[in-house]
Every structure is written in C-alpha cells, then in structure tokens.
C-alpha cells in the first residue's frame, strides 16, 4: 500500500500492549525474514517506530538494545540504527546459553547432534573440497599429528579444533560452518575428556589413524565408509567420556 508516494511497511502497523518489548523484537525479526528489512537497511528512528507501533520509546529502545546484543542490529552514531550485514559471533550466544542452561541431561542429545552436524560437514567437504582446501587440511592434520606425539592434551585439543575447522572450510557452507562451530563449543568438555582419556589409555596411534582416515575420505571422496569412520573416530567404544 502507498500513501503520499511512500511505501507503507507492514511491520510498522500498531501492536498491542502484551509483552511489548518482545513484540517489537518479533516484528523487526519477521520484517527481516520477509525481506521488508534487509542487511544494511537503516531503521526508522525510535520516535518513528514508537509512533508506528503505538508503544513507548522506552520499549523500542529496550528491543533495539537486545537485538544489538544479539548482533542483529548495529548502532552507528550519529547515522542511526542499521540491520547488520553478515554473521556475528554474538548471534550464537542466545542459543548457546539456552542449551547450557537446559536442566535436562543432554549428553546423549549432544552426542547425536555432533554426529549429525559432523557428517553433514563431511559430506559437503567430500563434494566441494578444492585443491587449496586439501592443502590446508593436510597442513592442519600434520600439526595435529605432531601434537599427539607430545604430552599436552590442551595443545592436541586446539590442533584438533583447527583440523575440524579446516573440514568446515572445505565444505564451503558458511551457515553450516557456524553451526559446526557452535557444536564444537558445546562439546568442548566432551572432546577434551576424550583426548585426555585416549592419552591415558595409550591410544595415540588410534587418535592419529582416525584423523588420517578423515583426511583420506575427503581427499578421495570415499563416502561409502564415511559415517562409520566418523563415529568410530569419537572413540566411544573405549568409554572415553568417563571422568
């Protein structure tokens, strides 16, 4: 609809008084989903939003503050408030904290999530990996193998994380890569415990072989045994998640 030559945005209609701040957040979120607001767009002023929504400026200000903390909006003084362009690590935080604070016993759910995401990344890496990706992945593999020969579990953990980040890069899917990063964050204690216990069990060679196998199946696009090798590479058969 147009009024006086200005296109009226549907998200600017008035809202009721129930959970006003959340409704403002929802309205702006839906506007971004339905492309009424796009990355880089400037929002109306607080006064204009308050008038359009029929709410107080304090509610608008609080909603904007929350969306800024999520990395969704950017405040650029003195220009105004803009829809963010691109991904920000801050966007992960709400989901991360929600899972951390979940009261249920989520160890099995995290194991299943890790397997599901890692296999998706692995399939895409087999399909899309380019020569430069394989070069970088092999470099990270060699660094990891060298760290496994040492005695510092933390250094092995860091090298392992960088190896899996290289697999994510080879998958050439930024959204899935960010999900994989989140899953690695959520399972960091699980992965550290696995490494520590593999060292205690003197399973260095098994640790090396699992990562060599992952590299080979990406290099040769051998998806016949990919899921089996991936799951075996978690070493659950050794009861490594026991503290």
CATH of residue 15's domain is 1.10.10.10
The tens digit of pLDDT for each residue in 199-217 reads 999 999 999 999 999 999 9
Q: Which of 69, 86, 103 is the last residue of a domain?
A: 86
Q: Where are the alpha helices (DSSP H) in 129-238?
A: 131-148, 153-171, 174-186, 188-200, 204-219, 226-232
5 pLDDT higher than 50: no
Contact (Cβ atoms closer than 8 angstroms) between residue 74 and residue 82: yes
Instruction: With CA atoms as reference, report the closest residue to 160 among 242, 215, 112, 101.
Output: 215
Instruction: With CA atoms as reference, report the closest residue to 31 among 6, 63, 69.
Output: 63
pLDDT band at 49 (very low <50, low <70, confident <90, very high): very high
The tens digit of pLDDT for each residue in 138-163 reads 999 999 999 999 989 999 999 999 99
Direct distance between the N- and C-terminal alpha carbons of the chain, in angstroms, rounded to an integer: 63
Mean pLDDT of the chain: 87
The tens digit of pLDDT for each residue in 131-142 reads 999 999 999 999
Tally the domains of the chain: 2
**243: in domain:** no
Residues pairing with 53 in the sheet: none
Query: How far apart are alpha carbons 28 and 63 in whole angstroms?
Result: 9
The CATH code of the domain that includes 223 is: 1.20.120.530
The tens digit of pLDDT for each residue in 82-111 reads 999 877 767 766 766 666 666 555 678 888
Query: How far apart are alpha carbons 175 and 96 in whole angstroms?
Result: 16
Query: How far apart are alpha carbons 43 and 25 in whole angstroms?
Result: 13
Confidence at residue 235, expressed as pLDDT on a 0 to 100 scale: 85
Residues 111 and 211 in one domain: yes
55 pLDDT higher than 60: yes
Confidence at residue 221, expressed as pLDDT on a 0 to 100 scale: 85
Q: What percent of the chain has pLDDT over 70?
A: 86
The tens digit of pLDDT for each residue in 111-133 reads 888 899 999 999 999 999 999 99
Task: Output the CA–CA distances (angstroms, integers) from residue 158 to 20, 97, 230, in the order listed.
Answer: 44, 22, 19
Q: Looking at residue 43, what DSSP letter applies?
A: P
Confidence at residue 2, expressed as pLDDT on a 0 to 100 scale: 43
Residues 81 and 134 in one domain: no
For residues 140 and 181, the model is more confident at 140
For residues 232 and 97, the model is more confident at 232
32 pLDDT higher than 70: yes
Residues 71 and 100 in one domain: no
Confidence at residue 96, expressed as pLDDT on a 0 to 100 scale: 66
Query: How far apart are alpha carbons 222 and 210 in whole angstroms?
Result: 15
9 pLDDT higher than 80: no
Contact (Cβ atoms closer than 8 angstroms) between residue 37 and residue 31: yes
Query: How far apart are alpha carbons 43 and 66 in whole angstroms?
Result: 15
Q: Which of 21, 55, 86 is the last residue of a domain?
A: 86
Residues 54 and 149 in one domain: no
Check whether the bond before 78 is cis (ω within 30° of 0). yes
Query: Tokens standing for 134?
Result: 């394989």
Structural domain containing residue 135 = 92-238
Query: How far apart are alpha carbons 91 and 87 in whole angstroms?
Result: 7
Contact (Cβ atoms closer than 8 angstroms) between residue 137 and residue 129: yes
Residue with tokens 């250094």: 155
């Amino acid at each position: 609809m147009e009024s006086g030559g200005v296109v009226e945005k549907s998200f600017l209609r008035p809202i009721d008084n129930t959970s006003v701040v959340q409704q403002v957040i929802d309205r702006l979120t839906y506007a971004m989903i339905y492309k009424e607001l796009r990355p880089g767009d400037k929002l109306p002023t607080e006064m204009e939003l308050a008038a359009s929504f029929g709410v107080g400026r304090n509610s608008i200000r609080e909603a904007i503050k929350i969306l800024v903390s999520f990395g969704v909006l950017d405040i650029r003084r003195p220009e105004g408030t803009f829809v963010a362009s691109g991904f920000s690590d801050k966007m992960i935080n709400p989901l991360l904290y929600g899972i951390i604070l979940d009261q249920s016993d989520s160890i099995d759910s995290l194991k299943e999530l890790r397997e599901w995401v890692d296999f998706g990344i692995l399939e895409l890496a087999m399909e899309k990996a380019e020569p430069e990706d394989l070069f970088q992945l092999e470099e990270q593999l060699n660094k990891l193998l060298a760290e496994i020969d040492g005695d510092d579990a933390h250094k092995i953990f860091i090298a392992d994380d960088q190896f899996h980040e290289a697999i994510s890069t080879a998958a050439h899917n930024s959204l899935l890569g960010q999900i994989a990063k989140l899953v690695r964050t959520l399972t960091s204690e699980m992965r550290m415990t696995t490494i520590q216990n593999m060292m205690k069990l003197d399973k260095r060679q098994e640790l090396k072989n699992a990562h060599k196998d992952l590299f080979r199946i990406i290099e040769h696009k051998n998806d016949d045994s990919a899921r089996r090798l991936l799951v075996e590479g978690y070493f659950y058969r050794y009861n490594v998640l026991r503290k």
